[in-house]
Every structure is written in C-alpha cells, then in structure tokens.
A = this chain, B = another copy of it.
Amino acid sequence: MENRHPARPAAPTGPCAAWPAEKGETIRQIVERAGDKWTVLVVSALHAGPLRYTDLQRSVPGISQRMLTHTLRQLRRDGLVTRTAYAEVPPRVEYELTPLGASLIAAVTALIDWAGTHHDEIHAHCARFDDAEPAS
C-alpha cells in the first residue's frame, strides 16, 4: 500500500541519492554492488596492483568497454578505486584499489571460499533434483 512504485525507486547505476535508504535497504545495495559479476572481477584484478584501462580489459576477459567504464565509475564513486590520469601524448590512466576496496576483497573471499567448499554439494543436490523432476 505504502509502496506505489511501479519499479525500483533507486537505481544502482544512478546518482549518489541511491544510498540514503534505510539500513536494510542499504545492505541490499551493498550486496548488489559487491555481488555484481564485474565488480568482483575488476576488484580482483586490481588486487594484484594498479592497472591501465586496456590492461584491465585484458585482465577481465569478456568484459565490454561499456561495463568496464560503468563499473569503474561506480567503484570510483564509492571510493573503492582511484583514477590517475597522466597528461601525456599517449594518454595513460591508471586505476588503483584503495584500502577500502582492498577490504572488500576479504568479504568477497569468504563468499568465494564458501562457493569453492560447497560447490560439489550444490552440484550433487542439483543433479539429484534434476533427476527426480525432469519434466518440471
């Protein structure tokens, strides 16, 4: 009743105004951000050290320019990465992880660790379920 929104009131890709939601919603935002495919991959790639735009593209196979740019901007906006542009003839831009960004890796690692640990279990249950109910 109180929610008349036809869709989501806040867009993750939108302006900063998306954040001031309540704590519960904030967590959802964070999880969506941190759980984002490209965010995780880019942050992981940056974990090894600073990288240039094109190097980043090579470090994250399959990412499009659109998504790389988009993800980097979000990451910058949230203070997870820094952008350093060198005003040289061949333009050079380096992206580096901030301590905040580095701290995210620890949390994500827990999830990845869980994934690795229980991957077989999930697959086993999945196969069993699929075998039990093949025709929906």
Minimum C-beta distance from A134 to chain B (A)? 9
Does B30 contact A126, Cβ atoms closer than 8 Å?
no
Cβ contacts under 8 Å, A121 to chain B: 79, 100
Asked whether A111 lies within 8 Å of B108 as measured between CB atoms, the reply is yes
- On whether the beta carbons of A79 and B114 are closer than 8 Å, the reply is no
Size of the chain A interface, CB-CB below 8 angstroms:
48
* List of B residues within 8 angstroms of A126 by Cβ: 16, 19, 77-79
Contact B111 A79 (CB under 8 A): no
A-side interface mostly: helix
Q: Which of A31, A36, A121 counts the most B-chain CB atoms under 10 A from its CB?
A: A31
**Chain B residues near A107 (CB, 8 Å)?**
110-111, 113-114
Which residues of the other chain, B, contact A129 by a CB distance below 8 angstroms?
A: 16, 76-77, 79
> Whole-angstrom distance between the alpha carbons of A30 and B117 in the complex?
11
- In the assembled complex, 6 residue pairs joining A and B whose CB atoms fall closer than 8 Å, in A order, are A23-B116, A76-B129, A100-B118, A100-B122, A106-B114, A107-B111
**Which 10 interchain pairs have the tightest Cβ spacing?**
A35-B35, A79-B125, A30-B115, A107-B114, A110-B110, A16-B130, A16-B126, A77-B129, A107-B111, A107-B110
